[in-house]
A and B are shown apart, each in its own frame.
With several copies, the nearest count.
Chain A
Amino acid sequence: MGKVYKNAADALEGLTFDGMTVMSGGFGLCDIPENLIAALRDSGAQNITAISNNAGVDGFGLGLLLEPRQIKKMISSYVGENKEFERQFLAGELELEFNPQGTMAERIRAGGAGIPGFYTKTGYGTVIAEGKPTREFDGETYIMETGLKADVSLVKAWRGDTQGNLQFAKTARNFNPMMATAGKVTVVEVDELVEVGELDPNTIHTPGIFVQRIIEAKCEKRIENMTVRERN
């Protein structure tokens, strides 16, 4: 029952198929599961529905899957740092479902938590609300959003132990913990794989129950928008 796999290709073995739904963690290019995304591309799976806050950039992140046209549909809150994405979208080759970022985060949490639907004020009165059930609470109208799940969730963490307990670094946490809960199978790449007992049980962000496979892998960690100040 070991959860530790040799490398990304190994970790995705038997999990990929045409028409699959994949969640992919990260925010912008910050701690995306780089190696697992590349292995998913190499698997050749087609017609993927990808749930990810962003769509990567050309040649990196989910951009890797866009070029060989493996993605059929994206569910995201913010895209378009990516020329190939724009081209496919404008040519009608790519479906796109925008979710408000908080709604998306909550839908993923709900999916993992066995909550099939919840009400939110976000998007009421906008195109986002079109076709969605509404309900009044205390005189205010809310729209119903549904839980999201995936066949496979790809997650990037800072440290993980051999039981799959995870810690995330700083703002690299973002969508990763919820996605870990919402995949039928969750595969994780970590900067540092440690023995069980090395992580303080009080400071684990994702308990190992949500993790089925884990690899240690080197990450490029690209910076999308380097902004610095001068020392005076």
Chain B
Amino acid sequence: MTQRTGWTRDDMARRAAQELKDGFYVNLGIGIPTLVANHIPDGVDVTLQSENGMLGMGPFPYPDEVDPDLINAGKQTITELRRSSYFNSAESFAMIRGGHIDISILGAMEISEGGDIANWMIPGKMVKGMGGAMDLVAGVKRCVAVMDHTNKAGASKFLPQCTLPLTGRDCIDMVITDLGVFSRGEGEGRFRVTELAPGVEMDEVKAKTEADLRWG
């Protein structure tokens, strides 16, 4: 194996954090997206939503601050901030479904060239459920998916069509992988390559991408 070029998980999280604008209300999925909270640019003040019923999610608690009544959607213990508010799950998803969250950053197993996402089940394996993922991709104003560009076998995860059961159709606006950033604007069908990770050449991206992008 050759030496790895491109972005690490932390780099991808840092790049995703650049999509956050001052004043945004933000929902972060589990995995790499959770790391985004560590990379919010200076001068950008965002409010994190946790879909189990909280706005203004704070950092993990110190050991003596742990409160069993205060967890995030990943069931991790967290803390509150001065700005925090709590609400029930129906209100929380009314917020999500109603388009009030500015951006969702979430992990993906596969993304299609038309912006479909699959990230909740692998047929034949025990399925844990979609949790709030289907609601988030259907409702949030802008959805950014973060994933490795290929699977462990080297096969592209950016595909003409998803092979896994979908989480949502035509809902992803930006894809951030270890190779770069892929975007499409409102009403644009396909993604463009808008950024390459350091040391990554366009040829490598082309070779590792089955999806038909707007390469021009």
Which residue of chain A has the shortest Cβ distance to B93 in the bound complex?
A102
Q: Is the CB of B71 within 8 A of A78?
A: no
Q: Is the CB of B83 within 8 A of A163?
A: yes
Q: Is the CB of A174 within 8 A of B93?
A: no
Which of B35-67 touch A at CB < 8 Å?
45, 47, 49-56, 59-63, 65-67
Which residues of chain B are within 8 angstroms of A1 by Cβ–Cβ distance? 22-23, 45
Q: Is the CB of B129 within 8 A of A121?
A: no
The residue from A29, A76, A225 contacting B129, defined by CB atoms under 8 A apart: A76
Which residues of chain A are within 8 angstroms of B56 by Cβ–Cβ distance? 201
> Does A158 count as interface, using CB distance less than 8 angstroms?
yes
Q: Is the CB of B138 within 8 A of A121?
A: yes
Which residues of chain B are within 8 angstroms of A89 by Cβ–Cβ distance? 126
Which residue of chain A has the shortest Cβ distance to B95 in the bound complex?
A209
The residue from A113, A128, A171 contacting B70, defined by CB atoms under 8 A apart: A171
Q: Is the CB of B126 within 8 A of A90?
A: yes
> Does A6 count as interface, using CB distance less than 8 angstroms?
no
> Does A28 count as interface, using CB distance less than 8 angstroms?
yes
B2-26 interface code vs A (CB 8 A; 1 in, 0 out): 0000000000000000000011010
Which residues of chain B are within 8 angstroms of A202 by Cβ–Cβ distance? 86
Describe B's contact surface by its main secondary structure. loop
The residue from B60, B89, B94, B128 contacting A79, defined by CB atoms under 8 A apart: B128
Q: Is the CB of A169 within 8 A of B97?
A: no
> Does B127 count as interface, using CB distance less than 8 angstroms?
yes
Chain A residues within 8 Å of chain B by Cβ, number: 75
Q: Is the CB of A178 within 8 A of B90?
A: yes
B117-139 interface code vs A (CB 8 A; 1 in, 0 out): 00000000011111111110011
Q: Is the CB of A171 within 8 A of B97?
A: no
Alpha-carbon separation in the docked complex, A124 to B166 (Å): 10
> Does B80 count as interface, using CB distance less than 8 angstroms?
yes
> Does B167 count as interface, using CB distance less than 8 angstroms?
yes
Alpha-carbon separation in the docked complex, A151 to B54 (Å): 26
Q: A77-B129, A101-B93, A202-B86 are in contact. Are A28 and B75 (CB under 8 A)?
A: yes
Which residues of chain B are within 8 angstroms of A86 by Cβ–Cβ distance? 126
Q: Is the CB of A170 within 8 A of B67?
A: yes
Which residues of chain A are within 8 angstroms of B97 by Cβ–Cβ distance? 102, 106, 113-115, 120-122
B161-182 interface code vs A (CB 8 A; 1 in, 0 out): 0000111111000000000000
Which residues of chain A are within 8 angstroms of B23 by Cβ–Cβ distance? 1
> Does B116 count as interface, using CB distance less than 8 angstroms?
yes
Alpha-carbon separation in the docked complex, A169 to B67 (Å): 10
Q: Is the CB of B90 within 8 A of A105?
A: yes
Quote the shortest CB–CB distance from A150 to chain B (angstroms). Answer: 13
> Does A117 count as interface, using CB distance less than 8 angstroms?
no
Which residue of chain A has the shortest Cβ distance to B126 in the bound complex?
A86
Kindly name the residue among A102, A106, A224, A230 whose own CB sees the greatest number of chain B CB atoms within 10 A: A102
Q: Is the CB of A181 within 8 A of B165?
A: no
Q: Is the CB of A125 within 8 A of B128?
A: no
Q: Is the CB of A31 within 8 A of B77?
A: no
A63-106 interface code vs B (CB 8 A; 1 in, 0 out): 00000000000001111100000100110000000101111011
Q: A123-B138, A125-B170 are in contact. List 7 more A-B contacts (CB 8 A).
A: A105-B92, A106-B94, A108-B90, A122-B97, A124-B138, A225-B75, A229-B61
List residues of chain B with CB under 8 Å of any chain A CB: 22-23, 25, 45, 47, 49-56, 59-63, 65-72, 74-78, 80, 82-90, 92-101, 116, 126-135, 138-139, 165-170
